[in-house]
Amino acid sequence: MKSFDDLEFTYDDYIRRWSASLTLDNGYLFSVIAGNDDGAFQPFYGRYPDTFEVAVFNEDGHFVPLGAYDDVLGWQDRNKVSSLIRQFEIDGQAHENLLVAMREEKREKKFA
């Protein structure tokens, strides 16, 4: 099973962020980023090395909705990132379908 430990982070001096990606055998791509903990404003939902912003893309390259109103999860620690990776590794398409259905339900309630 893959986990956070399989991510290989690189630092971009220009953007001032850490980033890593990981593609699972079932085609789901994880993008994990975090800002540098230098005290300056950064538009990322994570501060390296403790918390991270996570996005997941399906085989078609589309965002998988990770929240009711957002495609990314912010402020995830290493264990939460590992849990999300395992969830998609085990359930893949079924988990994506559940997240899509949950988002649609939220939107229907909001606009009802």
Q: What is the pLDDT of residue 112?
A: 65
Which residue in 53, 63, 3 sits closest to 28, CA to CA? 63
Other C-beta atoms lying within 10 Å of the C-beta of residue 16:
13
Q: What is the pLDDT of residue 38?
A: 75
Q: What is the pLDDT of residue 66?
A: 96
Q: Please give the average per-residue pLDDT across 14-22, as a whole number.
A: 94
Q: What is the dihedral of CA 5, 51, 90, 59, to 10 degrees?
A: -100
What average pLDDT does the chain have?
93
pTM (2 decimals)? Answer: 0.92
Largest Cα–Cα distance of the chain, in whole Å? Answer: 46
How confident is the model over 59-102, as pLDDT tens digits? Answer: 999 999 998 889 999 999 999 999 999 999 999 999 999 999 99
CB 58 within 8 A of CB 28: yes
Q: What is the pLDDT of residue 4?
A: 98
Domain boundaries, the chain: 4-110
pLDDT category, 106, cuts 50, 70, 90?
Answer: confident
